[in-house]
Structure 1
Amino acid sequence: MVDLVAQISEVIRSRRSTKPRLFNGDRIDDKIIWEILENANWAPNHGLTQPWRYKIFTDTGLEKLANFQADLYQKLTPEEKFKPEKYERMKTNLLKSSHVIVICMQRQKLEKILEIEEIEAVACSVQNMTLTAAAYGICSFWGSGGVTYTEELKEFLGLGEKDKCLGYLYLGYSDNPTTKSRRDPIQEKVEWFS
């Protein structure tokens, strides 16, 4: 049991976010992606609503997603704020990923569970994915900027009116993955009541 705890702790503490621009384009086996998704499916959630939904983009699907987001950026950005270099990055950086998992939350019809709790459950499932990826030596990055919260993306993904996109999980291999990070001591963040 001690060895298992040590292994889990090592995966948790060594996991890092590596930006997609550092990915090398090597493809992850789909069997590993399914394992990552299966572990996501075991996240805690209130009322067993299991609100996580994932849209997987790979191969030519990556091009479709990259073109969509770059074109939407161009459409939504006033001319004086439009940056051609950002447009190009949106069209190309995503293509360095092996797979992009678009993270979605499906709102339960009865709305018995608060929306924030559903979002938290999805976040737990993403943590399961990033830890599983790290255990396989796969780099990951959860991004939620750009077009993430637009109605246009919801429509592109076929989401329902009360559903939400919570970002992209980029997955890939890197010849130069991020390995360093830091955390302030946990004692600075805890109040203990006895």
Structure 2
Amino acid sequence: MQYNQIPITKKQILQILESANWAPTHKRTEPWRFKVLQGKSLERLGEFLAEKFKETTTNFSEFQYNKLKENTTKASCIIAICMQRDLKESLPEWEEIASTGMAVQNMWLLCTEMNIGAYWSSPGLIKFADEFFDLAEGERCLGFFYMGNYDDSPAEGFRKSPIEDKTVWL
């Protein structure tokens, strides 16, 4: 899906983020944290990712470099998906990662309802996110949630196999 250049408003973004805030969370740790990028910060992120790729790869590709640099500016908004680990470690880390994933699911569902295109991307370069974002102690970036308005109808969803293939009844 190609995004058009119609911006997503701050009001819409706040609505989407508020939906994330209602995700299930064990012990009410509410581990999800978000960093909203629009405008020039999208360009800065693209430049950072491209330069980090150039600096760290052993198999440099000019095509991949340019793609990393330009992809961020195709979105109207990117939300960095971060997870704040409970510093007391009062519950397993996977539960906080799962809660953050459920927060993103809420965002994705609301984007769909609002006719905003969205997808989650976790590039290998995400491990360098702490060099771009100011992350708190115990916070880490899990990926980027790209969002944008679009003109065409979204493609019909599909699954590789039916739910019956993934379910055991006891």
Q: TM-score range by the shorter chain?
A: over 0.9
In the alignment, is residue 116 of structure 1 matched against residue 94 of structure 2? Answer: yes
Q: Does 1:185 align with 2:162?
A: yes
Conservation of the 8 A alpha-carbon contact between 1:100 and 1:171:
yes
**2:43 matched to 1:52?**
no
Moved over 3 A (4+): none
- Deviations 1:80-114 (CA, angstroms, capped at 9, x unpaired): x1010111111111101110000000111111111
Q: How many residues align?
A: 169
| 1:175 Cα deviation from its structure 2 partner | 2.6
User: Is the CA contact 1:66–1:91 (under 8 Å) kept in the aligned structure 2?
Assistant: yes
Runs (5+) with no aligned partner, structure 1: 1-17
Pick from 86, 107, 130: which aligns with 2:64? 86
- Structure 1 counterpart of 2:138: 162
Distance 1:164 1:93 in 2: 22
Unaligned runs of 5+ in 2: none
The reply to whether residue 146 of structure 1 matches residue 107 of structure 2 is: no
Which residue in the other structure is 2:49 paired with? 69
CA distance in 2, matches of 1:177, 1:66: 27
Q: 1-side partners of 2:56 and 2:6: how far apart?
A: 32
| 2:142 alignment partner AA | L
How much identity, in percent, do the aligned residues show?
38
- TM-score, with normalisation over the residues of structure 2? 0.94
The answer (yes or no) to whether the contact 2:87–2:138 under 8 Å persists in 1 is: no
Aligned match for 1:136, one of 78, 103, 114? 114
RMSD (CA atoms):
1.3
